[in-house]
Structure 1
């Protein structure tokens, strides 16, 4: 479908860049993120707790893989809540944000989460929330 008159590829790229900036800015603010995505983070947190329970309870059935479906802004809300270090993008249709649970072989009984965006590892940001006003998983999971 062609763009409307007056909109070209350069204008479309600017609109997409602005949209990505807007969502990242909103979901990196503690007050907005907490109100907007508290239930989503709680659901992910509860699910991870169920997986850990299944892994650590002898004889419990395993939960090998789970899928959640979300809109683009919900993915960005989760990225903001988890404080993931990603470039400012607007997730396209079919974007995959994966949370993988691993056992730490160096520390028996300890588990950790590895996060991937589109198959690429993503790190957690290290910031001082009191200075940045960032949304944290603790804000929305409690």
Structure 2
């Protein structure tokens, strides 16, 4: 799973979640994301997202999803995750997609996510991914960076 190096190669949401083999329906609106959450993402979609983020499955499971990594590893790749977990993963993927749009490089995205940020009270952006409010705050900072506002 290569990390894109140019903006033209920045992955879309479906790609971050494993591509068309895992995300069968097109994502054209927020309602499509709700439907995808309701159906449940396959565990392989989570693995794909983790690969793009450059973090360990253990860290993602325990620090973002509040699940034991053993609970996740017992699931087969094609097994569906529950609605709540799927929704949280999709929300994380949306913020990561925004980061790829802003920074245009997988290495820069991973570096930014793992660096304390003054606009986030010196939290690393990735440390706020466990809660919807934190995801919104990170997304807001990305929007400010995109617009050239000091962040």
Q: Would the TM-score normalized by the shorter structure come out above 0.5?
A: no
Determine which structure has greater relative contact order: mean sequence separation of CA pairs < 8 Å that are 6+ residues apart, divided by chain length.
1
- TM normalised by structure 1 equals 0.29
More strand by percentage:
1
Bigger helix fraction: 2
Instruction: From the CA coordinates, give the structure whose radius of gyration is larger.
Output: 1
